[in-house]
Amino acid sequence: MSKHYAVFGHPVAHSLSPRIHAAFGRQVGIPVDYVAIDAEPSTFEEALSAFAERGGAGANITSPLKEVAFTLCSDATERARRAGAANTLVRNGDTWHGDNTDGAGLVRDLTGRHALDLRARRTLLIGAGGAARGVAPELLDAGIGDLFIVNRTSHRTDALVDLLGQPGRVHPRYIDDLAALGEFDLIVNATSAGRAGQLLHLPPSLVGRRTAAVDLNYGEAAIPFLAWARANGCHDMIDGLGMLVEQAAISFARWHGVEPDTDPVYGELRAEHARLVTAD
Protein backbone atom coordinates (compact mmCIF):
# COMPACT_ATOMS: atom_id res chain seq x y z
CA MET A 1 0.00 0.00 0.00
CA SER A 2 1.33 3.44 -0.93
CA LYS A 3 1.99 5.93 1.87
CA HIS A 4 -0.18 8.99 2.27
CA TYR A 5 0.30 12.14 4.35
CA ALA A 6 -2.11 14.91 5.32
CA VAL A 7 -2.78 17.94 7.44
CA PHE A 8 -5.97 17.87 9.53
CA GLY A 9 -7.67 21.01 10.85
CA HIS A 10 -10.85 23.07 10.82
CA PRO A 11 -10.75 25.16 8.76
CA VAL A 12 -7.80 23.86 6.77
CA ALA A 13 -8.31 24.93 3.15
CA HIS A 14 -5.98 27.91 3.72
CA SER A 15 -3.09 25.70 4.88
CA LEU A 16 0.23 26.02 3.06
CA SER A 17 1.40 22.66 4.42
CA PRO A 18 0.61 20.67 1.22
CA ARG A 19 2.69 23.12 -0.84
CA ILE A 20 5.53 23.08 1.67
CA HIS A 21 5.77 19.30 1.86
CA ALA A 22 5.52 18.99 -1.93
CA ALA A 23 8.41 21.46 -2.25
CA PHE A 24 10.48 19.55 0.29
CA GLY A 25 9.81 16.33 -1.62
CA ARG A 26 10.98 17.84 -4.92
CA GLN A 27 14.08 19.17 -3.22
CA VAL A 28 15.20 15.78 -1.88
CA GLY A 29 13.80 13.64 -4.70
CA ILE A 30 10.97 11.97 -2.78
CA PRO A 31 7.45 11.95 -4.29
CA VAL A 32 5.09 13.11 -1.55
CA ASP A 33 1.34 12.44 -1.47
CA TYR A 34 0.10 15.08 0.99
CA VAL A 35 -3.40 16.60 1.18
CA ALA A 36 -5.51 18.78 3.48
CA ILE A 37 -8.42 17.12 5.31
CA ASP A 38 -11.04 19.22 7.08
CA ALA A 39 -12.28 17.66 10.32
CA GLU A 40 -14.03 19.11 13.35
CA PRO A 41 -13.10 17.85 16.83
CA SER A 42 -16.24 15.69 16.92
CA THR A 43 -15.38 13.93 13.65
CA PHE A 44 -11.59 13.94 13.84
CA GLU A 45 -11.09 10.46 15.33
CA GLU A 46 -13.25 8.88 12.64
CA ALA A 47 -11.49 10.86 9.88
CA LEU A 48 -8.07 9.91 11.20
CA SER A 49 -9.04 6.23 11.35
CA ALA A 50 -10.30 6.32 7.77
CA PHE A 51 -7.06 8.01 6.71
CA ALA A 52 -5.01 5.25 8.38
CA GLU A 53 -7.04 2.58 6.58
CA ARG A 54 -6.20 4.24 3.24
CA GLY A 55 -2.49 3.99 3.99
CA GLY A 56 -2.01 7.14 6.04
CA ALA A 57 1.57 7.07 7.31
CA GLY A 58 1.85 10.51 8.85
CA ALA A 59 -0.22 13.58 9.60
CA ASN A 60 0.21 17.15 10.66
CA ILE A 61 -2.43 18.55 12.99
CA THR A 62 -3.48 22.18 13.18
CA SER A 63 -6.14 24.17 15.06
CA PRO A 64 -8.36 23.14 16.79
CA LEU A 65 -7.30 19.48 16.89
CA LYS A 66 -3.87 19.34 18.53
CA GLU A 67 -5.02 18.41 22.02
CA VAL A 68 -7.50 15.85 20.68
CA ALA A 69 -4.76 14.37 18.51
CA PHE A 70 -2.56 13.86 21.55
CA THR A 71 -5.25 11.79 23.25
CA LEU A 72 -5.42 9.48 20.21
CA CYS A 73 -1.72 8.59 20.36
CA SER A 74 -0.59 5.32 21.91
CA ASP A 75 2.79 6.87 22.73
CA ALA A 76 4.38 10.28 22.32
CA THR A 77 7.66 12.16 22.49
CA GLU A 78 8.64 14.01 25.62
CA ARG A 79 7.94 17.37 23.99
CA ALA A 80 4.43 16.28 23.01
CA ARG A 81 3.78 15.05 26.54
CA ARG A 82 5.03 18.34 27.99
CA ALA A 83 2.66 20.19 25.70
CA GLY A 84 -0.29 17.86 26.09
CA ALA A 85 -0.77 18.41 22.37
CA ALA A 86 0.45 16.82 19.14
CA ASN A 87 0.95 18.47 15.76
CA THR A 88 2.77 15.55 14.10
CA LEU A 89 1.59 11.94 13.97
CA VAL A 90 3.63 8.97 12.78
CA ARG A 91 1.91 5.67 12.01
CA ASN A 92 3.51 2.88 14.01
CA GLY A 93 1.92 -0.45 13.08
CA ASP A 94 -1.71 -0.12 14.09
CA THR A 95 -1.25 2.92 16.33
CA TRP A 96 -0.20 6.55 16.17
CA HIS A 97 2.97 7.99 17.67
CA GLY A 98 2.66 11.67 18.59
CA ASP A 99 5.20 14.47 18.41
CA ASN A 100 5.04 18.25 18.65
CA THR A 101 7.36 20.19 16.34
CA ASP A 102 5.75 23.61 16.83
CA GLY A 103 8.01 24.88 19.60
CA ALA A 104 11.21 23.67 17.98
CA GLY A 105 10.09 25.25 14.71
CA LEU A 106 9.36 28.57 16.40
CA VAL A 107 12.69 28.70 18.24
CA ARG A 108 14.56 27.79 15.04
CA ASP A 109 12.86 30.63 13.19
CA LEU A 110 13.31 33.25 15.90
CA THR A 111 16.93 32.47 16.79
CA GLY A 112 18.17 31.38 13.37
CA ARG A 113 16.30 33.33 10.71
CA HIS A 114 15.58 36.44 12.79
CA ALA A 115 18.66 36.32 15.07
CA LEU A 116 16.67 36.97 18.24
CA ASP A 117 18.39 36.27 21.53
CA LEU A 118 15.58 34.79 23.61
CA ARG A 119 17.57 34.51 26.82
CA ALA A 120 16.03 36.22 29.86
CA ARG A 121 13.27 37.87 27.82
CA ARG A 122 10.25 38.65 29.95
CA THR A 123 7.54 36.98 27.89
CA LEU A 124 3.77 37.31 27.45
CA LEU A 125 1.97 34.38 25.82
CA ILE A 126 -1.54 35.20 24.64
CA GLY A 127 -3.63 32.04 24.38
CA ALA A 128 -3.64 28.67 26.11
CA GLY A 129 -4.87 26.26 23.42
CA GLY A 130 -2.97 23.75 21.33
CA ALA A 131 -0.71 26.32 19.67
CA ALA A 132 0.30 27.89 22.98
CA ARG A 133 0.87 24.47 24.53
CA GLY A 134 3.17 23.52 21.65
CA VAL A 135 5.49 26.50 21.95
CA ALA A 136 5.59 27.24 25.70
CA PRO A 137 7.92 24.39 26.76
CA GLU A 138 10.44 25.13 24.00
CA LEU A 139 10.47 28.85 24.80
CA LEU A 140 11.24 27.99 28.42
CA ASP A 141 14.01 25.62 27.30
CA ALA A 142 15.42 28.37 25.07
CA GLY A 143 16.05 30.44 28.18
CA ILE A 144 13.32 33.07 28.28
CA GLY A 145 12.77 34.77 31.62
CA ASP A 146 9.43 34.79 33.39
CA LEU A 147 6.48 33.65 31.29
CA PHE A 148 3.06 35.23 31.79
CA ILE A 149 0.07 33.48 30.17
CA VAL A 150 -3.30 35.08 29.49
CA ASN A 151 -6.35 33.62 27.80
CA ARG A 152 -10.03 34.47 27.45
CA THR A 153 -10.94 31.52 29.69
CA SER A 154 -8.96 31.41 32.91
CA HIS A 155 -9.31 27.66 33.48
CA ARG A 156 -7.39 27.02 30.24
CA THR A 157 -4.65 29.34 31.45
CA ASP A 158 -4.45 27.58 34.80
CA ALA A 159 -4.33 24.16 33.13
CA LEU A 160 -1.39 25.17 30.93
CA VAL A 161 0.51 26.71 33.84
CA ASP A 162 -0.02 23.53 35.87
CA LEU A 163 1.15 21.40 32.93
CA LEU A 164 4.37 23.39 32.54
CA GLY A 165 5.19 22.78 36.19
CA GLN A 166 7.38 25.83 36.88
CA PRO A 167 5.28 27.91 39.31
CA GLY A 168 8.11 30.29 40.17
CA ARG A 169 8.69 31.14 36.53
CA VAL A 170 5.32 30.69 34.79
CA HIS A 171 2.45 32.91 35.90
CA PRO A 172 -1.28 32.83 35.02
CA ARG A 173 -2.96 36.20 34.63
CA TYR A 174 -6.44 37.43 33.77
CA ILE A 175 -7.18 39.46 30.66
CA ASP A 176 -8.18 42.36 32.89
CA ASP A 177 -4.67 42.35 34.40
CA LEU A 178 -2.90 43.22 31.15
CA ALA A 179 -2.60 46.95 31.74
CA ALA A 180 -0.89 46.37 35.08
CA LEU A 181 1.71 43.84 33.88
CA GLY A 182 4.30 46.34 32.60
CA GLU A 183 6.62 45.90 29.62
CA PHE A 184 7.57 42.65 27.92
CA ASP A 185 10.58 41.77 25.80
CA LEU A 186 8.63 39.14 23.87
CA ILE A 187 4.89 39.00 23.15
CA VAL A 188 3.58 35.88 21.42
CA ASN A 189 0.07 35.71 20.01
CA ALA A 190 -1.02 32.07 20.01
CA THR A 191 -4.74 32.71 19.46
CA SER A 192 -6.68 32.33 16.23
CA ALA A 193 -8.66 35.53 16.79
CA GLY A 194 -6.96 37.19 13.83
CA ARG A 195 -8.71 34.84 11.43
CA ALA A 196 -11.91 36.70 12.19
CA GLY A 197 -10.12 40.05 12.11
CA GLN A 198 -10.42 40.24 15.89
CA LEU A 199 -7.86 40.82 18.62
CA LEU A 200 -7.88 41.13 22.37
CA HIS A 201 -7.60 44.70 23.56
CA LEU A 202 -3.88 45.01 24.23
CA PRO A 203 -2.63 48.10 26.06
CA PRO A 204 0.40 50.00 24.67
CA SER A 205 2.04 49.70 28.09
CA LEU A 206 3.05 46.11 27.19
CA VAL A 207 5.61 47.42 24.71
CA GLY A 208 9.17 48.27 25.72
CA ARG A 209 12.31 49.42 23.93
CA ARG A 210 13.24 45.99 22.53
CA THR A 211 9.89 44.21 22.41
CA ALA A 212 9.57 41.52 19.77
CA ALA A 213 5.98 40.76 18.73
CA VAL A 214 5.44 37.28 17.29
CA ASP A 215 2.21 35.96 15.81
CA LEU A 216 1.99 32.20 15.32
CA ASN A 217 -0.48 32.87 12.49
CA TYR A 218 0.57 33.88 9.00
CA GLY A 219 -1.08 35.73 6.12
CA GLU A 220 -4.26 37.68 6.77
CA ALA A 221 -4.76 36.09 10.19
CA ALA A 222 -1.56 37.77 11.45
CA ILE A 223 -2.49 41.27 10.27
CA PRO A 224 -4.45 42.56 13.32
CA PHE A 225 -1.82 41.66 15.93
CA LEU A 226 1.16 42.79 13.85
CA ALA A 227 -0.64 46.04 13.00
CA TRP A 228 -1.05 46.65 16.74
CA ALA A 229 2.63 45.85 17.26
CA ARG A 230 3.71 48.27 14.52
CA ALA A 231 1.43 51.05 15.76
CA ASN A 232 2.82 50.72 19.28
CA GLY A 233 6.49 50.71 18.35
CA CYS A 234 7.59 47.09 18.77
CA HIS A 235 11.22 46.58 17.79
CA ASP A 236 10.54 43.34 15.87
CA MET A 237 7.36 42.09 14.21
CA ILE A 238 7.36 38.47 13.07
CA ASP A 239 4.56 36.32 11.68
CA GLY A 240 4.27 32.54 11.80
CA LEU A 241 5.37 31.73 8.24
CA GLY A 242 8.93 30.85 9.23
CA MET A 243 7.74 28.75 12.13
CA LEU A 244 5.34 26.92 9.78
CA VAL A 245 8.16 26.02 7.39
CA GLU A 246 10.55 25.00 10.17
CA GLN A 247 8.08 22.78 12.01
CA ALA A 248 7.14 21.20 8.68
CA ALA A 249 10.79 20.38 8.01
CA ILE A 250 11.07 18.58 11.36
CA SER A 251 7.89 16.62 10.58
CA PHE A 252 9.22 15.80 7.10
CA ALA A 253 12.43 14.43 8.61
CA ARG A 254 10.44 12.27 11.04
CA TRP A 255 8.55 10.69 8.14
CA HIS A 256 11.18 10.46 5.42
CA GLY A 257 14.49 10.36 7.26
CA VAL A 258 16.01 13.38 5.53
CA GLU A 259 16.03 17.03 6.63
CA PRO A 260 15.15 19.49 3.84
CA ASP A 261 16.64 22.95 3.36
CA THR A 262 14.00 25.39 4.60
CA ASP A 263 15.44 28.65 3.25
CA PRO A 264 14.44 28.26 -0.43
CA VAL A 265 10.88 27.24 0.49
CA TYR A 266 10.53 30.05 3.03
CA GLY A 267 11.97 32.56 0.56
CA GLU A 268 9.49 31.59 -2.15
CA LEU A 269 6.50 31.82 0.18
CA ARG A 270 7.69 35.12 1.68
CA ALA A 271 8.16 36.66 -1.77
CA GLU A 272 4.70 35.51 -2.79
CA HIS A 273 3.20 37.00 0.37
CA ALA A 274 4.96 40.31 -0.35
CA ARG A 275 3.50 40.40 -3.85
CA LEU A 276 -0.01 39.81 -2.51
CA VAL A 277 0.38 42.61 0.05
CA THR A 278 1.63 44.96 -2.69
CA ALA A 279 -1.27 44.01 -4.95
CA ASP A 280 -3.73 44.87 -2.17
Using CA atoms, how far apart are residues 103 and 106, in angstroms rounded to an integer? 5
Give 193-217 as a DSSP string.
Answer: GGGGT------GGGEEEEEEEEES-
Active site residue 3: no
Using CA atoms, how far apart are residues 269 and 153, in angstroms rounded to an integer? 34
Using CA atoms, how far apart are residues 76 and 58, in angstroms rounded to an integer? 14
Catalytic residue among 66, 108, 121, 256: 66
**Pairing mode, strands 56-61 and 88-92:** antiparallel
Using CA atoms, how far apart are residues 55 and 60, in angstroms rounded to an integer? 15
SS3 8: strand
Q: Name the residues annotated as catalytic.
A: 66
